[in-house]
Structure 1
Amino acid sequence: MNILAILILVSLCFYLYFKMKTHRSKSSVQQKRSSVKAKVSLGLFVGFYGLNQLFLKLSTIGIIVGLIFCIVGTVSSILAIRQYKLFLSLDMEKEKDFTI
């Protein structure tokens, strides 16, 4: 249980860090990268919170809410990781164009 609480706090800290980095950066490419990293961290936060709800509240409503949070957090993280991979491939293509 303590591990889930630590993971929740760590993912929340990473979300806040990347959100602040998004607002502070001047380049739009860096803003997009930081924004996607913040989305991954937020998805992990929601997913870990859902897991925590599953273990803490063993009522029917607690289990349903925990499952919904787990599903939403997992889907959000997966979509954000795909978006991050897309940005990485686009950046690599741009670097190839400049070097040739």
Structure 2
Amino acid sequence: MSNVLNFIFVFFIVVSFVFYFYYKTKQFRSTLPIRKKWYTAKAGVALGTFIIAFGLNATIIYPTSVGYGVAIVFTLIGAGLAYNNYKRARHEGKYVHEEFELNK
């Protein structure tokens, strides 16, 4: 059972890192300021997901009290980061289309 969970968490780690890299690349290539902020927030959500998956994977790799402590810290930090950036992405996403229309 732990091998299956380990593969699932590693899958989420890899996918979230790919999304983080994708959104950071989109951020650097974008020229509109709100769109840059939107991509930054989306990359932050992917980074938060990465940290959460990494922390949860630590409980499988290191099933000790230190491993659980590290997992709790990483999960809390990742959840805070993902939640904050999710709120930012939703807020700035409202203005992306408007900014695009104004700068045609």
Normalising by structure 1, report the TM-score: 0.86
Among all aligned residue pairs of Structure 1 and Structure 2, give the percentage whose two residues are the same amino acid: 28
CA RMSD of aligned residues (A): 1.7
Instruction: List per-residue Cα deviations over 1:31-82 (Å, max 9, x = no partner).
Output: 1111000000000000000000012101111110011001110111011111
1:10 paired to 2:15: yes
CA distance in 1, matches of 2:76, 2:39: 23
Normalising by structure 2, report the TM-score: 0.83
Task: Flag the structure with more relative contact order, 1 or 2, with Cα contacts below 8 A and sequence separation at least 6.
Answer: 2
1:47–1:70 contact (8 Å) kept in structure 2: yes
Which of structure 1's runs of 4+ aligned residues deviate more than 4 A? Answer: none
Gaps of 5+ in 1: none
Gaps of 5+ in 2: 1-5
2:38–2:88 contact (8 Å) kept in structure 1: no
CA distance in 1, matches of 2:10, 2:68: 18
Residue matched to 1:64: 69
CA distance in 2, matches of 1:35, 1:7: 20
CA distance in 2, matches of 1:27, 1:82: 20
